[in-house]
Amino acid sequence: MNFLYTFVATLLLSLLSLSSSSDISQLFETWCKEHGKTYTSQEEKSYRLKAFEDNCDFVKKHNEGNSSYTLSLNAFADLTHQEFKSSRLGLSAAPLNLDQRNLEVTGVFGDIPASIDWRKKGAVTNVKDQGSCGACWSFSATGAIEAINKIATGSLVSISEQELVDCDRSFNSGCEGGLMDYAFKFVINNHGIDTEEDYPYRAQDGTCKKEKLKRHAVTIDKYVDVPPNNEKQLLQAVAAQPVSVGICGSERAFQMYSKGIFTGPCSTSLDHAVLIVGYGSENGVDYWIVKNSWGTSWGMSGYMHMQRNSGNSQGERPAAAQANFLEYAFHGSAADWILPFAVKTDSTRAGNATRMEAIEGKTSGKLSSWDSLIEAWIR
């Protein structure tokens, strides 16, 4: 058990025995030390203590109930829920004028694996932190591009969210929010995007560094949308690559999430963007593996397990409402397979085409399973 989980467990035990304001104050001081929190005035500290106390009550009541997930006093425990929503969300409303086709993949491969985790296949970069900037949309978009580039080229490159925040301004609004569709279009029209190392993240709006727009570390050809509120289609997509999705992240339980399978509450209102990097099941409950952009102190080292296959008319289908899937390149009959494809340069494109032909030759035109396809493609 690492230090973070040890500390979380200690706080959870402390919550059970809180009986006075002095206990809350002592716990708050411990929490501040562990998270490196300091305040500019006693007035601000008192305000944060009140928010912390309110969150303590909320976490304690939830954890005393019968739930599939646990809450904790994480790094956001000194924020009111409204402050948290204002600083950590940022998904804009779905566009009404994008001429974008939906992805239809049902039955293309037949059976898909019972579970998949793209982290184990080396297709996911480390968890990042958007800070107090509503740029979740940029992290969701870059995560999908990073993954498809790894799948197609074998190279995992961390790319620049800040370039999107600063330069993708035709429809997106930097720290004030945006949409992954527009981010993908920006990368396509710009013929690529720079690395995070060359154009690092600063968690604030800035002037576009135009000289870096020409530094194309990674690019994509196109993207398609997974049909909204269709978890069967989303499952097919995630089996082939990590997928950029819009969800409802504004619930207080989402803010204080620690571990377990998150089952809501949730709504049909989309206000946060994340990356689905896999799926699985635990004790008969199906879940998505969700990569967030709130740092590693939130959730399970920056990840959440979110319930899947729970849709109903009230919109409790939190991860299937809006999803984007990066380019598929069709090779041969669509009834045989669909392969993910991303390019960095023309020479890389040619190399990938040769690689696809080699895979076809090795497998006599059709692979027996998704796992064998993915492994052959990554190799």
Which of the residues 149, 175, 272, 305 is marked catalytic?
272
Beta bridge partners of 306: 262, 288
Does 66 qualify as catalytic in the annotation? no
Q: Scanning the structure block, which residue is given the tokens 């900037």?
A: 133
DSSP annotation of 49: H
Q: Scanning the structure block, which residue is given the tokens 């593996």?
A: 289
C-alpha torsion sign, points 206, 207, 211, 217 = positive
Which of the residues 292, 305, 324, 352 is marked catalytic?
292
Distance CA 313, CA 61 (A): 28
Which of the residues 136, 167, 175, 248 is marked catalytic?
136
Does 292 qualify as catalytic in the annotation? yes
Segment holding 304, helix H or strand E: strand 303-307
b vs e for 158-187, b when ≥16 Cβ sit within 10 Å of the residue's Cβ? bbbbbbbbbbbeebbbbbebbbbbbbbbbb
The letter for the amino acid at 167 is C
Residues near 138 by beta carbon (within 8 Å), at least 6 away in sequence: 130, 161, 164, 165, 168, 172, 178, 183
**Residues labelled as active-site residues:** 136, 272, 292
